Amino acid sequence: MAKPSMKPSLPGPEDIYRVQLPNGITVLARSNFSSPSISMGGYLPAGSIFEVDEKLGLADFVSSCLMRGTQTRTFDEIYNELESVGASMGFDSTVHNLNFGGRSLVEDFPLLLKLLSESLFAPAFPKNEVENLRVHMLTGLALREQDTSDLAAMAFDRMLFEGHPYSRPGDGFVETIQSITRKDMQEFHHRYFGPSGMTIAIVGAIDPKKAAEAVEKVLGSWQIPGQVSPPELPDHKPVKKTVTNHHVLPGKSQSDLVIGMIGPGRKDPEYFPASLGNSVLGQFGMMGRIGEVVREKSGLAYYASSSLSGGTGPGSWEVSAGVNPKNLKKAIELIEKELRRFVKSGVTKDELADSQANYIGRLPLSLESNSGVAGAILNMERHSLGLDYYQRYEGMVRGVTRADVLRAARKYIDPDRLVISTAGP
């Protein structure tokens, strides 16, 4: 008896089936017969970039309401259908996209696609469900107004991305959520939902071509003449000097801070050097140098780390920490000092090697599940990285030098032009 051929451990062009349907939907599929399940994920360009300031949170409101009733099923009927077969599905919203995901046994994949199509094609926005969801969202916003971490992060985005869509909170404000009507939701759906620009990835116990055929059978007839295309992102204007903001919340026992600047976008050539540098700065081990200096050695922070968020447009490169209010000034000084050191000397040979080994070692772990592979395939498609991206990944990581990291740090980090946002008493 012949042994089954071993599938390459990393997804690539030889085992990812990619096709664009006539109506504009891109389908990517990869088989994995070691599990009887299927994971599905995808997106379409219907995010908060379409919102006006007076209706912030509309895209998020719409995405949260898609499964609360369609023209053919009630909220309870949708969830009962899913639960009866142990399946799951959900939606969320970002600046650029409406995202969706789901999981089921292979025999229940047609049901998953059917519920996806009904939610996308014909959401009913039932009045009682809209109001129940509004109460839930307003409660969340009220809690946000008492969270020092959330408030510091919001003010940071507002200052860093002033005049840019990235400056606005995706979940809106109390007054904007209160102002959104059912008609607003219906009009948003009518104008911006459609097959053009939609991408769906399917990974699991199914032949890739059959998976694409199943998608075409259910979604291939979706046609929206005149579907509105997303607007171009405006240019970003960097700050010319350090700007600060403190949001006063009396009675809090903790202050939170965010310090940072603009970082590279996902497709910028500096992204990998900056990402590996960020690992050294505030991720690797006990949150890198930032964690060691601010938290471990000085004992000033409850947490301290750095992050890099490169996406479709400009990202942020930021350090965040939670501290005792009396230590706030000292923590900021230590972080600024560490940023100056980072820009001056970059990373050591051992620090870079450790981070490179970490990046390479954790990649296969992130691809162990169907959902992990589906997410990886969507990442390649969303950022036009190429279907062989993960097969080139190790070489790209190992190819980053200390000089590359230093150049990226000096290009993006200017210790004299920081955005500093704090919240607390």
User: Is beta strand 419-424 parallel, antiparallel or unpaired with respect to 243-248?
Assistant: parallel
Return d(Cα 195, Cα 309) in angstroms, integer.
28
Query: CA distances (Å), 331 to each of 30, 185, 222, 335, in order?
Result: 48, 44, 54, 6
Return d(Cα 152, Cα 244) in angstroms, integer.
11
* Residue of 160, 200, 179 whose CA lies nearest to 51: 179
Q: Do 173 and 56 touch, CB atoms closer than 8 A? A: yes
Return d(Cα 283, Cα 308) in angstroms, integer.
10
401 Cβ partners below 8 Å, 6+ apart? 352
Return d(Cα 304, Cα 314) in angstroms, integer.
23
- Give 3-state DSSP helix, strand, coil % of the chain, rounded to 5: 50, 20, 35
Report the DSSP beta bridge partners of residue 40.
102, 202
Return d(Cα 365, Cα 350) in angstroms, integer.
23
Span 365-406, pLDDT tens digits:
999 999 999 999 999 999 999 999 999 999 999 999 999 999
The token pair that represents 135 in the structure block: 């109460």
Phi, psi of 105 (to 5 degrees): -70, 155
| String of DSSP letters for 367-396 | TSSHHHHHHHHHHHHHTT--TTHHHHHHHH
Query: CA distances (Å), 366 to each of 273, 284, 287, in order?
Result: 21, 17, 20
Return d(Cα 335, Cα 341) in angstroms, integer.
10
197: left (phi over 0), alpha (psi -120 to 50) or beta: left
Q: Do 208 and 193 touch, CB atoms closer than 8 A? A: no
Q: Domain 243-424 - what CATH class?
A: alpha beta
Q: Do 89 and 231 touch, CB atoms closer than 8 A? A: no
Homologous superfamily in CATH for domain 17-219: Metalloenzyme, LuxS/M16 peptidase-like (3.30.830.10)
Report the DSSP beta bridge partners of residue 244.
420
The domains spanning 17-219 and 243-424 adopt the same CATH topology = yes
The residues spanned by each domain of the chain are 17-219, 243-424
pTM, whole model, 2 decimals? 0.91
pLDDT in tens, the chain (425 residues): 333 434 447 999 999 999 999 999 999 999 999 989 999 999 999 999 999 999 999 999 999 999 999 999 999 999 999 999 999 999 999 999 999 999 999 999 999 999 999 999 999 999 999 999 999 999 999 999 999 999 999 999 999 999 999 999 999 999 999 999 999 999 999 999 999 999 999 999 999 999 999 999 999 999 999 899 999 988 888 899 999 999 999 999 999 999 999 999 999 999 999 999 999 999 888 788 999 888 888 888 889 999 999 888 889 999 999 999 999 999 999 999 999 999 999 999 999 999 999 999 999 999 999 999 999 999 999 999 999 999 999 999 999 999 999 999 999 999 999 999 999 99
Return d(Cα 37, Cα 7) in angstroms, integer.
17
Contacts of the segment 279-284: beta carbons below 8 A, 24+ positions apart: 279/355, 279/358, 279/359, 280/347, 280/351, 280/352, 280/355, 280/405, 281/306, 281/319, 281/338, 281/342, 282/306, 282/307, 282/319, 283/307, 284/351, 284/354, 284/355, 284/358
Burial 96-116 (b: 16+ CB within 10 A, else e): bbbbbbbbbbeebbebbbebb
Phi, psi of 233 (to 5 degrees): -70, 135
The token pair that represents 122 in the structure block: 């014909």
